[in-house]
Amino acid sequence: MNLEYFKSSEPLLLESGAVLTDFSIAYSTYGQLNAERSNVIWVVHALTGDSQVATWWNGIVGENGLFNFSNHFIICANLIGSSYGSTNPLSTNPNTGTSYFYDFPSLTTRDLAHSLELLRKHLKLEQIHTLIGGSLGGQVALEWAFLLGSKLANAIVIAATAKTSPWVIGFNEAQRMAISADTSWGQGHPDAGKKGLEAARAIAMLSYRNPLDLNAKQQESTEKLDGFLASSYLNYQGAKLAKRFQAFSYWTLTKSMDSHDMGRSRGGLESALNGIYARVFAIGVNSDLLFLTEESKFISKMVPSGQYGEIISTTGHDAFLIEFQQLSRLIQKFYKS
């Protein structure tokens, strides 16, 4: 694995009208380009992911994974706004010489796609065999698939949507409310909102799981009045995330997810999806309560060359990070079709 950094020589004009200057993108690569440069697999990570895809998606990317290092050149870039090496709210604002903090500009999924396009051009990758991402990563991948046109052969969009629903925006807003309720939020400090982030992650976990799955795995074996397993589980997940992520990036990227609308300024969703050149494989999760299977099916029906596949799991939204064997079989079947 090679971890590298791309510092853009040109500013990024954002949909909001703001301009992000002097920005950098951290990215990881695995394997080697073949002679034809036709074996590029580009992964877009989800909300709190990083560029080291072989670590968090090792059932899909790895020596023995579907996308292995012998046959593929795999790349994953840390999205700008995230806290794993790319420019983010804790980075230095060139206009002030101090961290952006609350002045970091708003980013849309389209902005994130444009930043990845600048990285692609820098790397001189004229063709991408497969662009793949789940959740927020799937939304960014869908936006980028539109921009790439004939430079992309296959787009695999997992547990994602063409436009973020009010249901998802509501969950994201509840999480940001938890962050802003933290008394440290508003301070110019890297740990501002940390306790609020723990609460936000607890809210998120309830949307990432399915009630049946949580009921089965956190069921009590004894009678209790307090100290329930479900409570311990959510507290653990909140503390775990707060140790590796920061509230500023969480705020920024959930806002990016809220902004997602393929049809904006393109004549609506159907018109935008119809403009995607690549073959699109939209994969839903039957137990996903966050991004519904109907939304994945809509993508597959509206693109010129689309297929739909479904992961069957009690896990819920996070099944795309867990059900590796199913996901591999679905993708292999798509490639053979």
What CATH number is associated with residue 309? 3.40.50.1820
For residue 148, give its domain range.
2-164+260-336
Whether residue 41 is found in the same domain as residue 116: yes
- Of the candidates 236, 256, 276, which is a domain's last residue? 256
Q: Which of 51, 288, 296, 300 is catalytic?
A: 288
Quickly tell me which residue has 């009010």 as its tokens.
166
Q: Are residues 295 and 189 in the same domain?
A: no
For 121-130, the pLDDT digits (tens) are 999 999 999 9
Any catalytic annotation for residue 24? no
Which residues of the chain carry a pLDDT beneath 50? none
- The structure's pTM equals 0.97
Say if residue 144 is in the same domain as residue 54.
yes
Q: Are 195 and 147 members of one domain?
A: no
The reported pLDDT for the residue numbered 146 is 98
Query: Which member of 45, 72, 114, 317 is catalytic?
Result: 317
Q: Are residues 18 and 148 in the same domain?
A: yes
Taking each helix axis from N to C end, the angle separating 109-123 and 136-148, rounded to the nearest 10 degrees, works out to 60
**Rounded-to-integer distance, Cα 240 and Cα 81, Å:** 20
pLDDT at residue number 102: 98
Kindly calculate the radius of gyration of the chain based on its CA atoms and give it in whole angstroms. Answer: 20
- Provide the number of structural domains found in the chain: 2
Return the exposure string of 284-301: e unless at least 16 CB atoms fall within 10 Å of the residue's CB, then b: bbebbbbbbbebbebbbe
Q: Which residue among 234, 256, 278 closes a domain? A: 256
Identify the CA nearest to 209 among candidates 175, 242, 236, 234: 234
pLDDT score, position 295: 98
pLDDT at 222: 93
Where residue 218 sits, what CATH number does that domain have? Answer: 1.10.1740.110
Q: What's the whole-number average pLDDT of the chain? A: 97
Distance, in Å, from the CA atom of 262 to the CA atom of 138, rounded to the nearest integer, reads 12
pLDDT at residue 1, rounded to an integer: 87
Say whether both 98 and 240 belong to one domain. no
Assess contact for 109 and 146: CB atoms under 8 A.
no
pLDDT number for residue 206: 96
**156 and 80 part of one domain:** yes
pLDDT digits (tens, 9 = 90+) for 241-280: 999 999 999 999 999 999 999 999 999 999 999 999 999 9
- Residue among 135, 259, 287, 296 flagged as catalytic: 135
Q: Catalytic annotation on 261?
A: no
User: Is 317 annotated in the active site?
Assistant: yes
